[in-house]
Structure 1
Amino acid sequence: MPESDLYQQLSKSKPVSMRSPEYAQAIRDMGESWKVTHAINHTANDFLDDTLRPLFAQLLGEELDSSSHILSPCYIDFGRQVKVGKNVFINHNCTMMSAGSIEIGDDVQIGPQVTITTTNHDFVDRYTLICKPVRIKKNVWIGAGALILPGVTIGENAVVAGGAVVTKDVEPDVVVGGNPARVLKRLN
């Protein structure tokens, strides 16, 4: 199975066995992402300088827009499965388990200690991955310590309160919070 087919299966919630020979490519890709994130997390830098931009380009497989910033340390297991828009700010200690793909729209702010995961396992055979993509639409704000679970889409202009556990889609123009997250307020 070509690499692109593997990631297409993962992003379309098709079960993929971690024991299969095809999954070996994912293990190599994850190892490469870990090496690059290690370099990012151990490079002295100033938030406003461009020291880390070449490393983020290597990790993501494309240039990070000059208006976007990801603070270190960060932890991303499949960097090429993450797409980051313009004018995005991701604070320190963000963890992205991104085998199923993560898309972050323009003007998004993500607080410290946020976890975004696309990965889950079959309940019977835990060596089988079942991933679902996460989509964060334009102008979303995710507060500190929030957890975004597989398959979630967060609508435009939504706010996710700090510490929220987001288990299902968030409609546009709302504030959600709690565990599981629920609508606390409608905006506009």
Structure 2
Amino acid sequence: MTREEFLELVRRREPLAAEEVRGYMHEMSERARRITFEINGAYHTPEELRALLSELFGREVDPSVRLFPPFYTDYGQNIHLGRGVFINACCHFQDHGGVTLGDGCQIGHDVVFATLDHGLEPEERATTRPAPITLGRNVWVGSHATILRGVRIGDNAVVAAGAVVTKDVPAEVIVGGVPARILGSIHREKR
């Protein structure tokens, strides 16, 4: 299986159950672990970190991106970061389904992006189902939040610390809780 074939399955949100798919996922997880161990195992300058992230993602990372390790991912090749993104320490990107962070996103400590889910029935649990997570511009995700598969978060939204986001979040709102619900809105003064 090639990266392009895998990403096409994911784009169509097809179940990831075939032996060939599982083999590819295992191989890519080993690759991601090798690179993340290098990221997490020693001090690196910001330039060195961006080079390692570029290798992990399979594409160039913008010079404005900042990351505080440790950083964890089980695939790495379906993460897309905009300009000016900041990712704090101990974040987990389960990115097989795709994680996109728009320009200016701020990600707190220990945030989890989970793009795969399993069926509830015991015979379905070995099959994973992908769906992308997409954050708009200038989204702030507080520490220990979890964003689940298929969620879209609108521009300028805030996800409170510890929230579990199971549904789409409109732009310009604050969400929090388990499951997350709208707590308020971002009031922007007109100048």
TM-score (norm 1): 0.93
Aligned-partner residue type, residue 148 of structure 1:
I
Partner of 1:21, secondary structure, is helix
- Cα deviation for residue 162 of structure 1 reads 0.5
Q: Give runs of aligned pairs for residues 142-181 of structure 1, distance below 5 A.
A: 142-181=141-180
| Contact in 1 for aligned 2:49/2:67 (Cα 8 Å) | no
Partner of 1:185, secondary structure, is strand
Q: How far apart in 2 are the matches of 1:171 and 1:31?
A: 36
Q: Which runs of 5+ in 1 are unaligned?
A: none
Residue of structure 1 equivalent to 2:125: 126
- Cα deviation for residue 2 of structure 1 reads 4.0
| Contact in 2 for aligned 1:33/1:79 (Cα 8 Å) | yes
Aligned-partner residue type, residue 40 of structure 1:
I
Residue of structure 2 equivalent to 1:44: 43
Bigger mean CA deviation after superposition, 20-29 or 71-80 = 20-29
Residue of structure 1 equivalent to 2:74: 77
TM-score (norm 2): 0.92
Residue of structure 2 equivalent to 1:31: 30
Partner of 1:16, secondary structure, is coil
Q: How far apart in 2 are the matches of 1:91 and 1:3?
A: 28
Q: How far apart in 2 are the matches of 1:134 and 1:72?
A: 21
Stretches of 4+ moved more than 6 A in 1?
none
- Cα deviation for residue 52 of structure 1 reads 1.7
Aligned-partner residue type, residue 104 of structure 1:
L
| Contact in 1 for aligned 2:50/2:65 (Cα 8 Å) | no
CA-atom RMSD in angstroms: 1.3
Q: How far apart in 2 are the matches of 1:26 and 1:52?
A: 24
1:96 pairs with 2:99: no
Q: How far apart in 1 are the matches of 2:67 and 2:73?
A: 11
Residue of structure 1 equivalent to 2:111: 114
Partner of 2:144, secondary structure, is coil
Residue of structure 1 equivalent to 2:51: 54
| Contact in 2 for aligned 1:6/1:23 (Cα 8 Å) | no
CA shift digits 1:71-128 (9 cap, x unpaired): 1001011111100110000000000101001111000000001001101112232111
What percent of counterpart residues are identical? 36
1:3 pairs with 2:9: no
Q: Which runs of 5+ in 2 are unaligned?
A: none
Q: 1:122 to 1:11 in 2, by over 3 A?
A: farther
Q: How far apart in 1 are the matches of 2:185 and 2:12?
A: 31
Partner of 1:7, secondary structure, is helix
